[in-house]
A and B are shown apart, each in its own frame.
Chain A
């Protein structure tokens, strides 16, 4: 029993790590008023470029290859974030459309490149998981501090609540939003690097498997608060870990003709909870006021 609890705890942490990293990106971007469906695409591109760079530099030893992988993921995440920022802020594209387009781009491009460059697949030494775990443990507090205690965080929140008001106070929304969305790309891509470098040590097409959307759900679940979002990521991670654990141990509980331990039903639960969180009266999740709205005409 204690063995099961132990593996449940570790499983939760492992599943929650990429979700937390991406969710922190989601918090930053959404707090600044930019809807971020693109987290999914950021994760996927981070996962692919991370493993790609690690493979290219593998001859220089595990340490350098790991560092190269992380740096590549960061760079590509920043570029993808910039693209989302450019499309939503400069071309005034709908945030959701831009996000979906970026997700398609990441999905198509990584699939194509992976199948073209590595038709036989690849394996890398990768990075130990605890490094990412540590980052994911510190990051929520860092983001919280950034948002609440720093001048830039105040600007970011002001822009997210009311770009007009921020403008009146002499804060231009554009640079703040661009920085926030770029940073969100970096963080989500790190989550992707975790998946490919630390978790799998290889790449598989569609490795993100909806984790970007789940991270977004965690953000909403945590009411756009970094620590709350981390709680959401842990909560969702727990249900993943529970599914795995129940499946491995063949534990089943049937009641009223329904198999309550079924992995599909357990998988459904976080999504139901997210909808309840969005819809319920008590403790209702209220998004930043200018979320997804267009820049005011200057």
Chain B
């Protein structure tokens, strides 16, 4: 897509594109829930009952009799925070045409780095210590991201392949550290000692995992989208995402832009790990980071390029994960239906075009989903 065709597009077409940008994710989610409804319906469960318990588990809202329980909602929001970080991280890289599958590994490195700094000095003023931990987590994730960026920029290694490998390397390295050098002495568990109390992020609703991490996540997501929209770096990132040739012709240092993009993306993912350490476990425990890095892919694909979209998508998936846990306890339906919803959403939101809608539809969608690939687009007639 050249900038030319974008500016020439009529208002009408822009409106249609916006409408599609809203309708498409809603369609994806509805389809996902529909598929799950089929799944559980065919297995002989009471579909409305399952869905209502999913809803109650996600929001804490009970309609009849009307009751509001803040705890489930807090748990959903707690799930949202790491998803928002990783989703924003992946969405950010997509703007430069980079598909950062490595958010998982970057988050792991961020978590370990934050834990190390958290343990390191117990006599700092709280907010300073928290800021240092977050910075360490971000830098850790950012550096791992930058490795993938450098490999892409200077050795033409596809970022998907390198980040898959780096995910394993990061996980293995973290597992090694937490069972050797960083391991809590006299403990059988593969975990570090607790971080300084001053660096704790305390829960808003007692017993839940909801803490200031969510606010940091929102700030980070908004900040990332401001960088993309309003800074010269952001303009370069978008240009590189459109076409490496155009960016080179404009005199941009493409390898540098790719590396910086991956650094920032990794920074955001690293923050997810840091927040989990500071707010949830107060230490690094083997495998504590779950799958938020991979789930962030679904968040980014569903949410699209805007920070609002990513936030809504993170809220949805956060609620879904949390609600599915509650639903599973109430109705015995396996909570893996959350993964099925995720799969359908990815497959639907990721599709650039439905084949029977013809080529014009395909073009409109490449406009919307620019950045999902950054690879050569079909020639524009």
In Å, the complex CA distance between A251 and B54 comes to: 49
A264 touches B175 (CB 8 A): yes
Contact B347 A87 (CB under 8 A): yes
**Are the CB atoms of A275 and B375 closer together than 8 Å?**
no
Q: Given the complex, which residues of B lie within 8 Å of A292, measured CB to CB?
A: 158, 375
Tell me which residues across on chain B come within 8 A of A267, comparing CB atoms: 168, 172
Chain A residues near B175 (CB-CB < 8 A): 264
Measured in the bound complex, the distance between the Cα atoms of B344 and A97 in whole Å is 11
- Tell me the chain B residues, 276-294 only, with Cβ under 8 Å from chain A: none
Stretch of A103-111, A133-141, A146-154 on the interface side? A103-111
Shortest Cβ distance from B181 into A: residue = A257
- Interface of chain A: mostly helix, strand, loop or mixed: helix
Of A94, A265, A287, the contact of B172 (CB 8 Å cutoff):
A265
Q: Is A115 an interface residue (CB 8 A)?
A: yes
Task: Kindly state the separation between the CA atoms of A64 and B210 in the bound complex, as whole angstroms.
Answer: 54
Residue contact A111 to B339, C-beta cutoff 8 Å: yes
**Number of chain A residues close to chain B: CB under 8 A:** 47
Secondary structure at the B interface, as helix, strand, loop or mixed, is helix
Asked if A275 contacts B350 (CB within 8 A), the reply is no
In the complex, the answer to whether A275 meets B359 with C-beta atoms within 8 Å is: no
Interface centre among B151, B176, B344, B353 (most CB of A within 10 A): B176
- A101 proximal to B (CB < 8 A): yes
Binary per-residue interface labels of chain B (140-157) against chain A in the complex, 1 for a CB within 8 Å, 0 otherwise: 000000000001000101
Contact B373 A94 (CB under 8 A): yes
Give the distance to chain A from B46, nearest Cβ to Cβ, in Å: 14
Chain A, 244-273, CB within 8 A of any chain B CB = 259, 262, 264-265, 267-268, 271-272
B179 touches A264 (CB 8 A): yes
Residues on B with C-beta less than 8 A from A100 are: 101, 297, 346, 350
Q: Which A-B residue pairs are the 10 nearest by beta carbons?
A: A108-B339, A104-B343, A97-B350, A111-B336, A101-B347, A105-B343, A108-B340, A115-B334, A101-B346, A268-B172
Sample of 15 A–B contacts (CB below 8 Å): A90-B355, A92-B351, A92-B353, A92-B378, A94-B373, A97-B347, A101-B347, A109-B39, A109-B343, A115-B336, A220-B161, A264-B179, A294-B377, A296-B379, A297-B381
